[in-house]
With several copies, the nearest count.
Chain A
Amino acid sequence: MTFRNVSLLAVEGLAVGHGGGPPVLSGIEFRIAPGERIGLVGPNGAGKTTLLLALTGVLPAAAGGIRLDGRLLALNGFTPEIALVFQQAHDQLFCPTVAEDVAFGARNVGLGGAALDRAVAAALQAVGIASLADRPIHHLSGGEQRLACLAGVLVMSPRILLLDEPSGALDLRNRRRLIELLRGLAQAMLIASHDLELVLELCPRVMLIDDGGIVADGPAAAVLGDAALMAAHGQEIPHSLTRHVGEGHRHPVAGPTARPGKAAVAGA
């Protein structure tokens, strides 16, 4: 029942900035189909986090708008259909224990009593941390914290997941586990990450943002494999897309460090 041309979310000419400043992003235009997984890549400070926040409706749009199923999103309204998992897990977990944190969102979508308990248990089960339900939030490892964040939004049955740097600070074992988990979910996803291998594994489609706009949007292999495009925006082609023969570690593109006299200024 998923048609690629039926869009779940439509972003139309969006411009957005922080606290009345000049827009960080402008003229943003794209659509997400139900169940589609899209990678969002770009250098530090390009505006990935800003875009994800804007899609949830907490940042006011300077221009344009966001439509969910054709309805325009209200500023600071509560839209449980769209869920954001933050870049820093400890910003998102604010209740004393894991179970209470997961219950917070569920209560706000109207669950209560036995239905609430069931929903919380199911969400914890889905991400595989049922045994941690009564643990205080700050006694969790980084990987467990991120899974708790995910449970906290899954319990509200969102239709779109926005994930900001999901593999940050995870070791390879936890990262692999997260990838398997995300691969098994049916929701549409927008995944912002510097971890291009992860993007490549999860997302058939990739958007590259830089200089305040979307500079490329297309199939993952085409965007991430385009050496000239990637180099122009300070990226490197992921190792798994280069034809290595194990003879050492050479990087395909020298990257912008070749330009002399340019400091590592990005985020400003």
Chain B
Amino acid sequence: MPREPAGPGPIADPRLRILALVVLAFGFSALTDPRALALMVVLTVALAWRFGLPPAVLARRLRWPGVVVCGLVILLPLLSGETVLVRLGPLSVRAEGLEAALGIALRFLCIVAAAAALLAPVPLPRLVAALRALGLPALMADMALLMLRHIEELRQGLSRMRVAMRLRGAPTGFWSGQFRGIGWALASLLLRSHAQSERIYHAMILRGHGAAEAAPERFRASPGDWSALAVLVAAGTGLLVLEHML
């Protein structure tokens, strides 16, 4: 089957995208020195530009974890450290805490941006296949693919069931005993899925599942992919070395 490239950017092979991301993300997470952090930001901006990361994609990924990070970034300067910079009434902003908070915010932003730039364009099933090729156990890869396949269907099933509850007057609000209703809807969905999974297993056997060791999907990395990976790995390790030398 013809395969479209994994997305914009110099790496087409999703396996190499994952490897590059692992090196960069773990490398970034070890940086604390302000100069290393500055270089990290420069590298991330270059990466986002080169891989064509749309700002909307990044913004969507920042929403969830952003809450936790924002909480820390606001609290840390007030709670942590001795050197008081500014007093705001009963609160005082301290240097060590501020530094730690800035580090956290920058590392968080850069890792999320790098992950979004490298992985967001790769379709999820392809990502799972790439992980399988990198050594993810077959059992987990199969689970992941089957699960992906059913998420949308189940989401619609659950929302239809909740509409059905509301149409028959299920009260909303905290103290309405609706937990039992939610639990029952969830249990119904589980029962249904259990029966369905049996039929799916039959469908798989009927089309030869396990009859032959199906060949895992092949990936081909071009020389260009490898050189781009080498550049990114060198940049990531370079930052780590810099952090330790400074």
Contact = CB atoms under 8 A, between A and B. Distances in A.
Question: Do A and B contact each other directly (Cβ–Cβ < 8 Å)?
Answer: yes
Contact of B207 (A90, A104, A110, A117): A104
A138 B163 CA distance: 20
Interface string B121-160: 0011100000000000000000001101100110001001
Interface residues of B, number: 43
Given A88-B199, A107-B214, A138 B184 contact: no
Interface string B79-107: 00000000000000000000000000000
A93 interface: yes
Contacts of B214: 104, 107-108
A96 B149 contact: yes
Given A94-B200, A108-B211, A84 B206 contact: yes
Contacts of A137: 149, 188
A94 B161 contact: yes
Interface in B191-227: 191-192, 196, 199-200, 202-209, 211-212, 214-215
Given A105-B208, A108-B208, A156-B207, A95 B149 contact: yes
Interface stretch (A28-36, A75-83, A205-213, A250-258): A75-83
A125 B39 CA distance: 54
Given A90-B153, A92-B164, A133-B1, A109 B199 contact: no
A108 B209 contact: yes
In this complex, the member of B1, B192, B209, B211 whose beta carbon has the largest number of chain A beta carbons within 10 angstroms is: B1
Contact count band on A: 35 or more
Contacts of B1: 99-100, 103, 117, 120, 133
Given A88-B160, A105-B207, A108-B208, A94 B166 contact: no
Contacts of B164: 86, 91-92, 94
Contacts of B165: 94, 104
Given A91-B196, A94-B200, A105-B168, A138 B152 contact: yes
A169 to B, nearest CB: 14
Given A91-B200, A99-B1, A104-B207, A138 B153 contact: yes
Interface string A141-166: 00000000000110010000000000
Contact of B169 (A92, A99, A105): A105
